[in-house]
Amino acid sequence: MKGDKTMKEEFCLSSKDVVQAAMDASNKNIKDFSVDPNVMIIFSRGLLNYLKEEVTLEESDWLLPFHPYGSEKLFRGNYNNIPITIILPPMGASPMASIAEDLIFCGAKRILLVCGSWGIGKKVKLLDYIIPTHGLGSDGTSIHYGRKLSEEIELDKDITNIIIEETKRRTENYHIGKNYSKEAFYQINKQEIFELQKKGCISMENGEVNVLATICKQRKVKYGTIFYSYYNPLEGWNISWMQKKEKYKECVELEGEIALAAILRISQWY
């Protein structure tokens, strides 16, 4: 029946609906909810502190008062005459899906995910940088965007190459390879990691990479990722941000420097 087909094709909620409800509730217009074409998604407050020193930023409520996944904080500003938005959303694949869709609806054209991950590569040391080229793994969100669980997603080559070049200019402590997404933090075993190493995986995280890559590809938005390794499951849990405060701070700040340099180039070329 026609009615059944319509129900299957139309979703109950979209970014457009969320923004419209926000406008109705606040008497603001669509421009008030705009973000810049260049967006950096981060999770670290240490990285945010560094970016506040380097970029002229103003905090914005954005969708937070109107949306449970509207991000913890959002800032808009200018870096070397390049408009940039910095956002701190909740971690995880599911929040990343709504954040990515909302950012793109509100004007994002180039998105970098800049954060930490679990370093599982044989040569990856604590606080080394990791630049993913592919995403794989069975996150529970990207499948709803048509990705098959067995599908290996190739990240945007152009953006990845820029991130590699900017990292290479600043440090030798970086690795290039595949990222595996797994949302069950306490359900990782050593044999699984050994098998992932054979597939070329050097990092693991909560599913954000697969989701961001899948959505950006569908929406034709440029995207890329850089990590630093803050934990190796084969070596046991550590609290690097407390036990190695100065080294951790240096690592996070250099990651921010790399990301800003990449944003500058990406914004000029794409």
pLDDT for 20-33, tens place per residue? 999 999 989 999 99
pLDDT digits (tens, 9 = 90+) for 151-195: 999 999 999 999 999 999 999 999 999 999 999 889 999 999 999
Q: Name the token pair of 180.
A: 């595996």
Domain boundaries, the chain: 25-269
Q: Confidence class of residue 242 from pLDDT cuts 50, 70 and 90?
A: confident
Backbone angles phi, psi at 171, to 5 degrees: -160, 155
Is residue 87's pLDDT more than 70?
A: yes
Q: What is the CATH number of domain 25-269?
A: 3.40.50.1580
- Over 90: is that where the pLDDT of 53 sits? yes
The pTM of the full predicted model, rounded to 2 decimals, is 0.94
What pLDDT sits at residue 30?
Answer: 93
**pLDDT over threshold 80, residue 216:** yes
Q: Which amino acid is at 98?
A: S
pLDDT of residue 10: 82
Strand residue runs (E) in the chain? 38-42, 56-60, 73-79, 82-88, 110-119, 129-136, 153-154, 174-181, 201-205, 222-231
What is the pLDDT, as a whole number, of residue 93?
Answer: 93
Q: How confident is the model at residue 138 (pLDDT cuts 50, 70, 90)?
A: confident
Helix (H, G, I), strand (E, B) or coil at 242: helix
